[in-house]
Structure 1
Amino acid sequence: MASSFILDGSMIPRSEKRTIDERTELRAPASSSTGVLEFRGRKHVVRLINVSRSGAMVLFPHTPNIGERLALQLLDHGVVSAQVRWVRAGRIGLSFASPRE
């Protein structure tokens, strides 16, 4: 039987800001303000918030599943395969299948 829960970041409320940043690499503003995200067979123009060698944060009005695989087209790096790591308040965190150069 499938669960009716959706992991969209709203199930575990966060009352405090992060006190430690466990990310190991620098996030930088995206060199382009938009990208194209392929989601369930359709392409969507998304706003890039930041990009690192191993992932990105984008504004996206739909709610993908945690772990769902998507393709993200970046102006400066072509299409990269990515996996959804988190979803919260119209933003999603993506982890790239392989680090960008």
Structure 2
Amino acid sequence: MASNFILDGSIIPRRVKRMFDQRSEPRIDCPADKAILSFRGQDHVVQLVNQSASGAMIRFERTPNIGETLRFRSQERASERAQVRWVRDGKIGLTFLGKVG
């Protein structure tokens, strides 16, 4: 039986700010940069918030499902597959999976 729930980050609220940054690589802030996100067959220009070697945070008005695979392209990165890791308040966390094609 299919569920009517969408995992968009609102089901499990974070009330406490992250106390420790356990990420293994630096994030590069790039609030003026844009990227192209292919989402369910359509390309969208999105705001790039930050980026690292293994992922990115973007602003996007749509709500993809956690675990959904999208295509991501920015000035710094060629087109590659990315998986949605989290969604919250109009922001999406992506993990890069590898080059497309």
TM-score, with normalisation over the residues of structure 1?
A: 0.91
> How far off is 1:73 after superposition?
1.1
- Which residue is equivalent to 2:38? 38
Aligned sequence identity (%): 53
Aligned residues: 99
Q: Which 10-residue stretch deviates more, 90-99 or 80-89? A: 90-99
> How far off is 1:44 after superposition?
0.3
Alignment of 1:1-16 (within 5 A): 1-16=1-16
TM-score, with normalisation over the residues of structure 2?
A: 0.91
Alignment of 1:78-97 (within 5 A): 78-97=78-97
Q: Which runs of 5+ in 2 are unaligned?
A: none
Q: CA RMSD in A?
A: 1.6
Instruction: For 2:51 and 2:64, locate their aligned partners in 1 and report how far apart those are by CA, in whole Å.
Output: 19
1:13 aligned counterpart, secondary structure: coil
Q: Which runs of 5+ in 1 are unaligned?
A: none
Kept in 1: contact 2:58–2:92 (CA 8 A): yes
Kept in 2: contact 1:32–1:75 (CA 8 A): no
The letter of the residue matching 2:11 is: M
Kept in 1: contact 2:31–2:47 (CA 8 A): no
Q: Which 10-residue stretch deviates more, 70-79 or 55-64? A: 70-79
Residues 59-101 of structure 1: CA distance to partner in whole angstroms, max 9, x if unpaired? 00000000000001111222121000000000000000149xx
Kept in 1: contact 2:50–2:57 (CA 8 A): yes
Kept in 2: contact 1:54–1:98 (CA 8 A): no
Instruction: For 1:98 and 1:78, locate their aligned partners in 2 and report how far apart those are by CA, in whole Å.
Output: 10
